[in-house]
Structure formats: C-alpha cells, structure tokens
Amino acid sequence: MYYISDLHSHIDQEVSLKGWVINSRSSKGIEFIVFRDGTGFLQCIVDENNVGSEVYELSKTLSQESSVEITGKVIKDERQIGGLELHVNNLKIINLTNNYPITNKSHGVQFLMDNRHLWLRSKRQWAIMRVRNSIIYAIHNFFQNEGFMQMDAPLFTGNAAEGSTTLFETEFYDRPAYLSQSGQLYGEAMAMAMGKIYTFGPTFRAEKSKTRRHLSEFWMIEPEMAFYDNEMNMNLIERFIKSVVSEVITRCSSELEVLERDVQFLQKVVETDFPRISYDDAVKVLNGVKEINGITSIDLLNKDLKAITEQIEQVNNDIVEREEILSDETLKQKKRNFIQNKIDILKNDLIDLQEKASHIPEWIKSAQNFKYGEDFGGSDETVLTRMFSLPIMVYNWPKDIKAFYMKRDDENPDLVKGVDVLAPEGFGEIVGGSERETDYDILLGRIREHKLPEDVFKWYLDLRDYGSVPHSGFGLGLERFVSWITNTKHIRETIPFPRMYGRLEP
RNA sequence: UCUCUAGUAGCUCAGUUGGUUAGAGCACCGGACUGUUAAUCCGGGUGUCGUUGGUUCAAGUCCAACCUGGAGAGCCA
C-alpha cells in the first residue's frame, strides 16, 4: 500500500492508493477525481480511452467523500499542487457516499462546528491539524534535547489555585474538586526533584468567554527550571519559540501553503531578536508618548485607519458601478443573477471592512486612556505588537495585576519579575511566565494579600522551607500558538473538538 | 454578566415605505463538452420565514418576550 506523501519516489510507477474522493469534475471522455488519503491530495485522471468503459462509468458515479481504492501511474505535472497526478488504470469503490453535508461552497460557522467530525476532513482543517501535530512534536523535541523531563500534573485539584479564575467544579469521593487551571505549582515541586521539567496537558477554565482567543478546555505546556532567573527564562522562551517555528517551517511547507501562511514572516521571527520592553515602556508606547521605529502608536493606527477607509471607498465605488449595470432592464436573467451575487459578496466585504474601521478609533481611545497599573486588553496587545510585527516580550509588571507566586523586583518592590509574550497580528498573549518568589515569609504574605486559603498551600510553602532556590518557568497556550503559526483567526479551529462556552458536541 | 448584531430551501444568502403565487446561487438528478482546478453551459423542485403572543383588512417585513448563534468587553493561555 502506498501513500500520497511517498509518491515523489515512485514517479512513472504504478501504485495503489486507498482514500476518499474530495470532488470530481468531468469533460467528455475524461473524469478528474480529486483524492485524499490523509497524507496529502492528488488529482487522478480517468481517461475512457485508457481504462475502458466499465471503469469509466464507475468513476462517473463517484460522489464527494466516497471511499475508494485507486490504481494508476504516477505522473509529474507541474500544474498540480504537489506537482504530481495519477493516471488511473483501475478503480474500486469501498463505500459510496450520499449527500455529504459539507459541499465545496461556503458554509457558516455554526453549520461547520455542528459538523466538526466531518469538517476535519476539509483541506484547511487538515493543514491546521498537521501543523498542530508538528508543533507538539517540535515542543517535545526541544525540551527533550535540552535535558528537560516531561511530567504529568494532576487534573483534579482541591482548590482554586491562583484565585482569580472560575474553575469547573466536580466531585471527588464526596468532596468538591476542581479541574486544573494550571500544573505550575506541581511543576515547581518536580523541578526541585529533577532540575528542569515541563508539563504538557489539558487545562480547564470555566469563564464564559466568547472571544476568538478563548477555550474552556485547552492544552498548555509549562516548563519549570531550578536555578533560572527571569533573564534566563526569557532567553529560553525566545530560543524555544524560534526552534518550534523553525521546525514547522521545514516540516510543514505544503500545509503552510494550503493555509496561505506568509512563510517569510515566520522566517523573520526565527532570525530576528524579539523586542523586549518593560511594562513601563509598553504603557508609554500605548499612550503615544514613546516612538517605535520613528512613529507613535497613535500615528500608526491613524495611518492604518486611512488605508482601510480608502479600501472601503473603493469597494463602495465597485458596488455602485455594478448596480448601474443592473439598472439596464434588457439584461438577461442569468447575467443579472451573476452581478447580484457579486454585489452581495462585495457588501459582505464592506461590512467586514467597516467593522475593522470602527474598531480602530476604539483602539486608539483605549490606548490613549490606558493607565499605568492596568492589565492590557485584547486591543492593547494588538496595538503593541502592531508596532513591531514580531512577538514581543513585556517584562517587569506591577505586582497587583499578577499572580501571588511571582518574584518581587529587588529594586522596585511594586514590580514583579514576570514576562508575557505577545504574538503579532492580533493573536494575543501566547506565553505567560515569571521568576518565582523564593522567600517563605514574602510568599506567605502574598497568599494572605490575595486572600487565598493558607492550608492548601502548605505543601507549596514547604518548597521554600527545604532548599529553596531561584527558579523560573512559563506557560505556553498550545492552541493560541497554533492559531498564530497557522494564521487561524479563531482558536476553535486549532483543536480537533473544541470545548467552549455553549459547545459540548460533537 | 454587559454592548452590538443575526435567525428565510439541505447549504450560503437576497427579499424595497406591510400588499397577488416568497427568490437566487450551490448541493442533488439528467444532458452537452477530450485537461478541468469550488470547471463551464442547458433542463428539472425544494419552504412551520427561530418560537410564542400582539398591532392590522393584510405581517418574512411593525411591536414585546423568549430561544439559539456571531462579534466585542471583562477574565485569561
């Protein structure tokens, strides 16, 4: 048995493939079958003169998503994606499909999500899942090569660890229990046993968030390193992200092509130092007080707004032009329908553009009014990364907006040594990390300040009693990372079966 | 939880200040065409207009409540 991904080494040979029909087109005496087998896509040509009328007639009955065994000769053809096609000699139908719901036309989000179990077969979803797999592989690869040990943190926890977030409550032998929102505290314990560890597991948050960046169940990677300060932590994060991106570029070139991902952009991420900016400076940038590359955030946003406004004008003119054509009453019905459809499409584009344009003034306002001491909102992150077009690292945060375990800054007790990595192009925070507080009394004080129950942190405080050492770590949200790498606007497409507010099936 | 927005054919949508029998494209079936890339062209029929109540001679269209989505805010990875 052969797979499409191996065919390059079988050019001009006869092979037999098993898979599914994506689509078929026909002309007189020739049938084009677009075929997939999970490893790739291939156009198969059934020529009546070549296969005879029996196989040719069979090929005409093939419907979308029918499963088939298909035999033929591999031929080089530059016109095709992948540069190959199959000249069919024989064909066997395994299962003939009727009325496959996802057609080769556009569908709405709800319909596709309701058919997620089938949607995963579609080309774009296929590509996203393949990239996700390569990212997972690259993450393990990186940490294993660096001498990290993978550990599994518990999913049942007895307490709402960091306080702020809402957790899913469940029952554990007649006691209330919560699904874990982070494995970090357990990771710290393990790092004191192993030196360098990382967790890779599911995480649960019960917030009723309805945005393109949130899931109720997502996967997180949380490394924790003994004897690392935040500087070393940031260096590791940067090397780590570059390593994973670089591996995806080499392993997933055809997937990135399907996704229409700008590989040059990713290549730049691998080759350029990530900008590192203190929270203080980030606030100045947002407020428009500090310039980056010779321009303030406010000026850059206004420039963006102007460009979008011009685009809107252009689309508007386009619509008016077509409507004028429609006013000709002698126009044939067919032609009229065609133009009307085009106008409807343009009107939808217009709505998108107008929505974009309407956001920018809000972003400007939010950025200008941003006050020192607040946490960045979604739009603030977009504005900050817009200034660099690279992932940026924001460090030295006000202690009041960060978790209790972060280490205070020696020079300014109001700051903690945390770091957030913001992905460019509006994909938001992909990494949150910090150096951890090592002093027993300060940590206990922070737990009390946050009004957290002391008794459940007793074991955690033990880590500061017995051989406490400087240590740091971070958490990477897998789906947000996949979103960014694959340029997928909504996080729900980056996990096979998303669990989010209002979605438990399929 | 709040703000905005939507629900019309299997799917994507149009439907004018309320007014005859609610329209397209696609999917599906048949036909034409020997290289198509969501092929194209010709022919074929499909509706509890989200639900309930109200206003009216008349409601897909107006009003109210509810249900279900989408975008954003908050929260965060």
A486 pLDDT more than 70: yes
Helices A478-486 + A230-251 axis angle, to 10:
50
**Bridge-based pairing state of the strands A217-226 and A156-157:** unpaired
Rounded Cα distance between A231 and A419, Å, is 10
Q: Given this model, what pLDDT does residue A163 score? A: 58
Please tell me whether any atom of strand B lies within 7 Å of the Cβ of A103.
yes
- ipTM for the whole complex: 0.83
Protein CA at A107 to nucleotide C1' at B12, angstroms: 6
Rounded Cα distance between A205 and A214, Å, is 9
> A277: helix, coil or strand?
strand
% of chain A beyond a pLDDT of 70? 93
Could you list the beta-strand ranges (E) of A360-479. 392-398, 415-423, 428-435, 471-477
> A267: helix, coil or strand?
helix
**Strand B: which bases are under 7 Å from protein Cβ?**
1-2, 10-14, 24-29, 32-42, 68-77
Protein CA at A381 to nucleotide C1' at B76, angstroms: 13
| Phi, psi at A176, each rounded to 5° | -70, 140
Residue with CA nearest C1' of nucleotide B24: A337
Range 162-181, chain A: CB under 7 Å to any strand B atom: 164-165
User: pLDDT by residue (tens digit) across A49-104?
Assistant: 888 888 888 888 888 899 999 999 999 887 777 789 999 999 999 988 888 888 87
Residues A304-322 have a mean pLDDT of 78
Torsion of CA A260, A264, A270, A272, to 10 degrees: -140
Q: How many residues comprise chain A?
A: 506
Residues A472-493 have a mean pLDDT of 94
A186 pLDDT more than 80: yes
A240 pLDDT more than 90: yes
Residues A221-245 have a mean pLDDT of 96
Burial of A327 (0-12, 13-18, 19+ CB in 10 A): exposed
Select, from the ranges A74-78, A158-162, A473-477, the one with the highest average predicted confidence (pLDDT). Answer: A473-477
- Nearby residues of A108 by Cβ (< 8 Å), 6 or more positions away: none
Whether the CB-CB separation of A233 and A491 falls below 8 Å is answered with no
pTM confidence score: 0.90
Rounded Cα distance between A474 and A431, Å, is 7
- Nearby residues of A459 by Cβ (< 8 Å), 6 or more positions away: A189
Give the containing element (helix H, strand E) for A320. Answer: helix A297-326
At position A25, the amino acid (one-letter code) is R
Q: Given this model, what pLDDT does residue A157 score? A: 86
Please tell me whether any atom of strand B lies within 7 Å of the Cβ of A101.
yes
Please tell me whether any atom of strand B lies within 7 Å of the Cβ of A214.
yes
Torsion of CA A227, A222, A188, A174, to 10 degrees: 180
Place of tokens 């978790």: A403
User: pLDDT by residue (tens digit) across A409-424?
Assistant: 989 989 999 999 999 8
